Chains A and B, each alone.
Chain A
Amino acid sequence: MTEHTRIEAYLPRLYGYALSLAGDHHQAEDLVQECALRALTAKNTPGDEPAYRAWLFRILRNAFLDRVRRERTAALSADEVNFAPDMEFWQGDERFITVLAVKLQMEKLPRRHREIVALIDIAGLSYAEAAVLLEVPVGTVMSRISRARRMLLEAIGSSNVRELPVRKKKGIG
């Protein structure tokens, strides 16, 4: 397997993660391309697949952070919103959790929350892998993903995005 083929398998997940960081489709594509270029020109590449995957996501995150620093835009910390530790169970209707609702509400999440959801649910990283990537303890990943999902569920529950009922066509006979 060539390095090209190897990295191609991760492009969709890298894109999902990049989108969670950048919040913009064009920038997400740029980030993935930059990540791929950095990976392809690296002198050493991790051999086993989990290490390779974590390495790729770290490259992408570093590329994003470099860009933030370079452009002097708001740093990641600017999105750090303190939420009250409201860990009551969600009372919403499960049927409202649709792909469309998630798409709409993910965009509104603070970047920090989008990032952890993307790492766990899109990239498929374990808590330990995400902790290494984000340079935080595993317990922090645990609470972050919990808060992010909680916020996402609340947003979905209070939005007015609902699936339309499927209307059956009337038959002739």
Chain B
Amino acid sequence: MSDRRITFEMLNTYVDGELDAAATAEVARAVAEDPTLAREVAALSRLRSAVAESVEAPPISVPAPPSATGRRTAIAAGFAFALFVAGSVLVFNLDRDAGAEVLARAWQMHRGWSIEEVTAQPRPPSLLVRYAEAVPGAYVPDLSASRLSLVHATVAPFAGQRRALLAGYRGTRGCKISLLVFRSLDALGEALSPFRDGTNEAYGWRAGPLGYIIMSDGMDPGRFRLLAESVRETSRQHVPFDKETRLALRQSRDKSAPCMA
């Protein structure tokens, strides 16, 4: 018959070394005299060891913290944004005013949802059909291979008389991506055109009559480049990513650090 003064909870506390000296001595004495208690203590000790050994952590890389420059950029987004627009116009190969207008509006639309909608939920694909009608021929890809969920869709006035479809995606580690589709600007080429300033990155391209701009603030550059290339390809073909692309996007995501923005 076990010593009923010794409870299962006390035995747990005993094997964890959390009892005070007097209680430890009392339990130790009871365990020495009672085989049932001794078996319980052995089982609990074995359980502790098995639990401690049960986790095999995969290799986890410690992400590099954002540089001081990056942090300043994030905080002073307005200043960075202005510089970004000014610098990007040269790459865009448009006249200065038109280029500035396009990029300014694109980032405004991106920030319009990405800053506020922290609780946005994934949207059903059918919702996009309604929005896509506003920009005929627009192709909005499924980016779940890169663990990005579509959480926002809107159609809004864009450059000139255009209207643009904006699709907002959110990842599980703070990444926010905007894909903008609009009737193309002549100056946009079919190749990816990068626009970068600090942690703000964007790529633009033309696919048939439509222009696309994909934007990120803070995503790992390598991952974002692969994502942009993949989206460009799928926007031209209007087919979902193939198996190899999905795998590459997934691996790229797993290897990259969380987003800094």
Contacts and interface: CB of A to CB of B under 8 A. Distances in A.
Contacts of B62: 4, 7-8, 11, 33, 36, 40
Nearest to A25: B58
A142 B11 CA distance: 11
A149 B257 CA distance: 36
Interface residues of B, number: 42
Contacts of A152: 47, 51
Contacts of A142: 9, 12-13, 18
A36 B42 CA distance: 36
B63 interface: yes
A118 B167 CA distance: 40
Interface in B101-155: 118-119, 121
Secondary structure of the A contact surface, majority rule: helix
Contact of B16 (A120, A153, A156): A120
A11 to B, nearest CB: 5
A21 interface: no
Nearest to A104: B54
A121 B7 contact: no
Contacts of B39: 94
A70 B8 contact: no
B58 A97 contact: no
Contacts of B12: 142, 145-146, 149
Contacts of A8: 62
A62 interface: no
A85 to B, nearest CB: 10
Nearest to A126: B18
A158 interface: no
Interface stretch (A12-20, A75-83, A165-173): A12-20
B9 A122 contact: no
Contact of B44 (A30, A40, A102, A149): A149
A160 to B, nearest CB: 17
Nearest to A93: B43
A122 B18 contact: no
Interface in A116-170: 117-118, 120-122, 126-127, 142-143, 145-146, 149-150, 152-153, 156
Contacts of A118: 51
A122 B55 contact: yes
Interface string A23-56: 0011101101110110011000000000000000
B65 interface: yes
Given A33-B63, A102-B47, A149-B44, A16 B18 contact: no
A121 B65 contact: no
B157 interface: no
Contacts of A30: 172-173, 258
Contact of A92 (B16, B43, B53, B254): B43
B213 to A, nearest CB: 26
A117 B51 contact: yes
B52 interface: yes
22 contacts: A8-B62, A15-B58, A16-B55, A33-B60, A36-B60, A37-B65, A37-B257, A40-B62, A41-B66, A41-B71, A87-B7, A90-B8, A90-B43, A97-B47, A120-B16, A121-B48, A127-B18, A143-B9, A145-B16, A146-B8, A149-B12, A156-B47
Interface of B: 2, 7-9, 12-13, 16, 18, 36-37, 39-40, 42-44, 46-48, 50-55, 57-58, 60-63, 65-66, 71, 118-119, 121, 172-174, 254, 257-258
8 nearest interchain CB pairs?
Answer: A16-B55, A15-B57, A12-B57, A121-B51, A146-B9, A40-B65, A102-B50, A87-B8
